[in-house]
Chains A and B, each alone.
Chain A
């Protein structure tokens, strides 16, 4: 592992070392304050009611029985809910999800039609069951292949790209492979059910809510209610998993604010598990076509990657399925294109490696097919087309890239060269053995992040930022960065996160937070040390002396993305190589992963323990993506229902321990050149590539090419 380890005053390494999580004791003792734990105890409880049709208009809501039920205080519908403005997402010009109860239109099955507010959850749930809603239903469009669906070609994700001349590249090719790839819809399914509690004080709103982005949630609520931003505060110090589902300001958060306004008391909402399938986003299915042209020696002459993904009615969700393709390989002629098809489905959102996870499966499976066609080793094929500069950004040199090292080291670890490369050639009893691999070139994502560093009279320090820790270790790595640069013990640094009243932060998403907040912290430390006229890492005594008789000295700093042209480099995301060894039962089609090796270049590793944990967690998600996870919707022969048929954790299959071998993770490469801490995000690269590596291993084991996720036993019979 290549990391710089800087000792503290006591000689213990801080950066890179696998120090234990600073919030570990709180977590293992159950003392962590999740957002819902902070809700006022006297809050009323709201239960949301979803539509039972997928399209149409609400014609009647009869609330009389519900209102007469014990404990029920109010029922919110589009007739009596406050009108609010639909906000935009701070990160883009896209519309945030539509606040609920603003009109009679039903846009998907499960779209909220009412909120029943009662003294207890049980009373609210009972009241909800007594609500009588009738609809003027229309026939929904829920199938990606439905010819009636509107096809949006305006490229909201900025995904489309053409370079060179595709036809020329194809004409120059000795070999062309072309195939369609399908990835199923997935649901994030964090274990922690999402919750929101709203409390109004006059026209000021206090919100405790499950969110990966408190700052943006506060922005959106202020915009929705037309109230000053400083009068909105959103707090989420911890959540029980996110995987992207907490990135958008979802309707249930608005519902809590509306209800609290109407009843003039705090109102708390906890989503049910089925509501977690329709209320907080999902990874949209994709249909992709990949066409690769190559010379006999493996040189790619042309790459075409097109994809169709769904988007909800009256919603935006930029999801770039082809970003990895655009920057992955040195190919002169390329066409990448993503179309969105508008359906009556619940609004999609980001799910760990959004777009990348699906697109990587298409591209890296196609490359495996090409390697076989050419008789070239799949690792060698990738090295032969290695992008030494970024073909998607004016061929600028990467700010850091060690993908070649990832590939070579991964091959070595799994014993790649010891396998018999012939498909269906390796067998032990009933079990067919297969090896497969995939490469990942993850996108770079960075948004402005501001951090305030406070040095107190006693020489200890605090770091403040609105960003939140979704369990990945943000509290810990920020503590490490601040401690190292101030010369403090970890225990002398307090990190305060998850509160929109703190300095502005980007989301805990896009693999971008560790880089943003680390560099902002480093800059703020530099600022405060300058104000104190101290050199680097002065230590607690010097800090205390410099603060003198003041209470504290604070400095703020912002980290932002660099201008590539100005710095003459292409800012790099993480790179990775995944190698899988699978066993497939020759008769029963059961695929079990025996080994999974991930070699990752994420620049400077801030904390070997939390970084490894990120890759391990991502890989578990990747195994689910490859073999298990699939949100299925009714596909009736007749009129569609748009109903999800497996919206429960017993039926939606997440990988369990028995599906996951001891995962092997190594880090290679060195600090990135474009930021002072040298770090690149590692949140999503762990998931990406796992599905293609497993699918390619299944092909090697069985000789069967499955171009569809998840790869289930019935596809292999």
Chain B
């Protein structure tokens, strides 16, 4: 681990200023490689593994961003959960407002371990870096995410916990968050606070696909801080299914977040997130198109799942994933809609 300096800030503006590279304009001298740290459950691993060596860590865990508010939504929306970025996974999972929102609660409770959930924050979770063990080992020289243009060792190596959607031979890094998969299915938004003000983005637009640019994880600009998540509570049934070798404390081989409302046998509303398969939390828009407005049936679910995985990029280690992802999605569509035939 390289030496670094550590500072703690008390408000959002100070936090943004402390990591903004335009130091002169803000009259704060900071090194260019300053970064935020909250729970640190990913970042400390990266630092210990020698993959990431920030010069300054700006501790944002004390910012007043640890509340969950239930607000009235705009227009057709019902209520919206406004979740501070510093809320821990454990605290959100046991919040009363989440009790009936199965997809959100289960995506939290099926993730990581109790110890990690007690430390890790919601903001950090959606921004977590890939678990790719080629990315995470600095002795591996080929990694387009660490060193743009150097190639991808995982593509030629032992890839099992890797992505098959939103990837190509340049990078197959998986976005391993469970929570973010639920968030894209819930049409959640992320509120950002940066040097140039505040903006709001759909979570589905936050991350950058590896086949677009493996070197960028997300669209945040320098100094931008996730302050809140806005999670609309849908008028629909929801559920999260996570498939993994180990019954607890493992990233998903595949997962499916399903939000659906069936009216008179027809899928009036459907939104799907897939985990374990994408370089980003995967919004299954192709499957949704197949399903939307049509009579719910197992055959339709099969058709939708097949459409979503049709163009998967597989390698010998990941060639099982499209089939497992199809079955995972069909199972979860069946269980959420309670369609039996």
Contact = CB atoms under 8 A, between A and B. Distances in A.
Interface of A: 52, 70, 122, 125-126, 129, 430, 587-590, 592, 627-628, 632-638, 641, 643, 645-646, 648, 650-651, 653, 655-659, 710, 712-714, 717
A592 B247 contact: yes
Given A430-B331, A588-B328, A713-B243, 11 more contacts: A633-B158, A634-B158, A645-B158, A646-B133, A648-B133, A653-B250, A656-B247, A713-B320, A713-B324, A714-B320, A714-B324
Interface string B1-31: 1110000000000000000000000000000
Closest 5 pairs between A and B when the two form their complex, measured CB to CB: A658-B247, A714-B320, A658-B248, A52-B139, A587-B327
A646 B159 CA distance: 11
A430 B334 CA distance: 12
Nearest to A591: B245
B284 to A, nearest CB: 18
Contacts of A641: 157
B100 interface: no
B125 to A, nearest CB: 15
Contacts of A658: 246-248
B133 A588 contact: no
Contacts of B331: 430, 587-588
A641 B246 CA distance: 28
Contact of A636 (B157, B246, B330): B157
A717 B320 contact: yes
A627 B245 CA distance: 8
27 contacts: A52-B139, A70-B3, A125-B1, A126-B1, A129-B50, A588-B243, A592-B247, A627-B245, A634-B158, A635-B157, A637-B156, A638-B156, A643-B137, A643-B140, A645-B133, A645-B158, A646-B133, A650-B131, A651-B131, A656-B246, A658-B247, A658-B248, A659-B247, A713-B324, A714-B320, A717-B323, A717-B324
B225 to A, nearest CB: 27
A638 B50 CA distance: 26
B334 to A, nearest CB: 10
Nearest to A109: B139
A710 B245 CA distance: 10
B143 to A, nearest CB: 13
Contact of B158 (A588, A635, A656, A657): A635
Nearest to A653: B246
A122 B50 CA distance: 12
A646 B330 CA distance: 31
A478 to B, nearest CB: 36
Contacts of B249: 650, 656
Interface in B122-155: 131, 133-134, 137, 139-140, 153
Nearest to A660: B247
A588 B221 CA distance: 40
Given A589-B324, A714-B320, A628 B157 contact: no
Q: What is the interface of chain B mostly: helix, strand, loop, or mixed?
A: loop
B253 interface: yes
B1 to A, nearest CB: 6
Contacts, number: 82
B204 interface: no
Contacts of A648: 133
Given A638-B156, A645-B133, A651-B161, A717 B327 contact: yes
A588 B324 contact: yes
A641 B156 CA distance: 11
Nearest to B137: A643
Nearest to A647: B133
A589 B139 CA distance: 35
A646 B131 CA distance: 10
Interface band, chain B: 20 to 34
Q: Interface centre among A125, A636, A643, A653, by most B CB within 10 Å?
A: A643
A657 B320 contact: no
Contacts of A587: 327, 330-331
A202 B254 CA distance: 60
Contacts of A656: 246-249
Given A636-B157, A645-B157, A659 B139 contact: no
A426 B243 CA distance: 23
A588 B139 contact: no
Contacts of A627: 245
Q: Interface centre among B133, B243, B324, by most A CB within 10 Å?
A: B133
Given A653-B245, A656-B249, A712-B245, A129 B2 contact: yes
Contact of B246 (A588, A659, A717): A659
A587 B248 CA distance: 20
Contact of A651 (B133, B139, B253, B324): B133
Contacts of A430: 331
Contacts of B243: 588, 590, 713
Contact of A632 (B50, B158, B246, B248): B158
Contacts of A628: 245-246
Interface in B267-305: none
Nearest to B324: A717
Nearest to B253: A713
Interface string B300-325: 00000000000000000000100110
B156 A636 contact: yes
A625 B3 CA distance: 40
A125 B53 CA distance: 13
B282 to A, nearest CB: 18
Nearest to B113: A656
A643 B158 CA distance: 10
B322 to A, nearest CB: 10
Q: Interface centre among B245, B324, B328, by most A CB within 10 Å?
A: B245
Nearest to A70: B3
Contacts of B2: 126, 129
Contacts of B137: 643
Nearest to A593: B247
A588 B327 CA distance: 7
B70 to A, nearest CB: 32
A659 B323 CA distance: 24
Interface in B218-267: 243, 245-251, 253
A327 to B, nearest CB: 34
B248 A657 contact: yes
Contacts of B248: 656-659
Q: Interface centre among A122, A126, A628, A634, by most B CB within 10 Å?
A: A634
A648 B135 CA distance: 14
A633 B133 CA distance: 11
Contacts of A589: 324
A636 B158 CA distance: 7
A553 to B, nearest CB: 52
A638 B156 CA distance: 8
B250 A122 contact: no
Given A122-B1, A588-B324, A634 B246 contact: no
A648 B42 CA distance: 13
Q: Interface centre among A637, A710, A714, by most B CB within 10 Å?
A: A714
A52 B331 CA distance: 44
Contacts of B139: 52, 643
Contacts of A653: 245-246, 250
A593 to B, nearest CB: 10
Nearest to B3: A126
Contacts of A52: 139
Contacts of B131: 650-651
Nearest to A637: B156
Contacts of A714: 253, 320, 324
Contacts of A122: 1
Contacts of A638: 156
A655 B330 CA distance: 28
Nearest to A657: B248
Contacts of A637: 156
A628 B247 CA distance: 10
B31 to A, nearest CB: 17
B129 to A, nearest CB: 13
Contacts of A70: 3
A15 B331 CA distance: 54
